Amino acid sequence: MLPEEFEAAVVRYYDTLLRLAVQRAGSRAEAEDIVQDTFLQLLRSNQTFDGEEHLKAFLIRAVINRCKDFLKSARHTRSVELSEAAENMLPAAPPP
């Protein structure tokens, strides 16, 4: 894929892929990582596409698969809300 084609794909599909990833992963930060990884996969692949629809389908499927992998990962299943973690880290009050 030529650099101009790659840049055009990022501009054209980034928002769509990000919305899809946020919806599936439940976290904007994770969704941004997933979309970035998907575009890196596209950049590294030597795959040729039959047209814009084929490229779009490839990117959507790649994002969905990465979201599934994230949801199965220990990183997702062991994550804790920041407020909950902060409560657990507060020192106990000294006994009176």
Domain ranges of the chain: 3-77
CA neighbours within 13 Å on the CB side: how many for 12? 12
Answer yes or no: pTM beyond 0.75.
no
Spatial separation of the C-alpha atoms in residues 57 and 51, rounded to whole Å = 10
User: pLDDT tens track of the chain, all 96 residues?
Assistant: 788 888 999 999 999 999 999 999 888 999 999 999 999 999 998 888 898 999 999 999 999 999 999 888 766 555 556 666 566 565 555 566
Q: What are phi and psi of 93, to 5 degrees?
A: -70, 140
Is the Cβ–Cβ distance between 5 and 42 less than 8 Å? no
User: What is the per-residue pLDDT for 7?
Assistant: 93
* 3-77 carries CATH number 1.10.3110: no
User: What is the per-residue pLDDT for 95?
Assistant: 61
